């Protein structure tokens, strides 16, 4: 089970680099924002898997805090792109 979890962590890390390419070279701003969101979600999955493999609950706390910050940042960015202001 641990070997499968480690393999999944490595595969998720590799796919994060593909999404990073999409975030940098994306044709539109919405593609870039979506790629950054996917990177964040995959990073949360890596944190959760690290918590399972290492038997540390700290990684679950980090994952929960990171997903909340990712959600707030996405809402703020989309509001800014829509109206040009954050208020």
H or E element: which one contains 44? helix 29-54
- Distance, in Å, from the CA atom of 80 to the CA atom of 73, rounded to the nearest integer, reads 10
pTM (two decimals): 0.84
- All domains of the chain in start order, with CATH: 2-83 (1.10.287)
What digits encode the pLDDT tens for the residues 23-43? Answer: 999 888 888 889 999 999 999
Contact (Cβ atoms closer than 8 angstroms) between residue 24 and residue 51: no
The two structure tokens encoding residue 58: 């700290």
pLDDT (tens, 9 = 90+) of the chain, 87 residues, equals 778 888 998 999 999 999 999 999 988 888 888 999 999 999 999 999 999 889 999 999 999 999 999 999 988 888 888 887 776
Give the pLDDT score at 66.
95
């Amino acid at each position: 089970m641990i070997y499968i979890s480690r393999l999944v962590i490595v595969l998720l890390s590799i796919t994060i680099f593909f999404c990073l390419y999409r975030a940098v070279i994306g044709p539109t701003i919405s593609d870039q924002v979506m790629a950054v969101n996917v990177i964040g979600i995959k990073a949360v999955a890596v944190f959760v898997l690290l918590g399972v493999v290492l038997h540390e609950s700290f990684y679950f706390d980090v994952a929960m805090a990171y997903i909340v910050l990712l959600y707030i940042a996405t809402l703020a960015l989309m509001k800014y792109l829509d109206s040009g202001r954050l208020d």
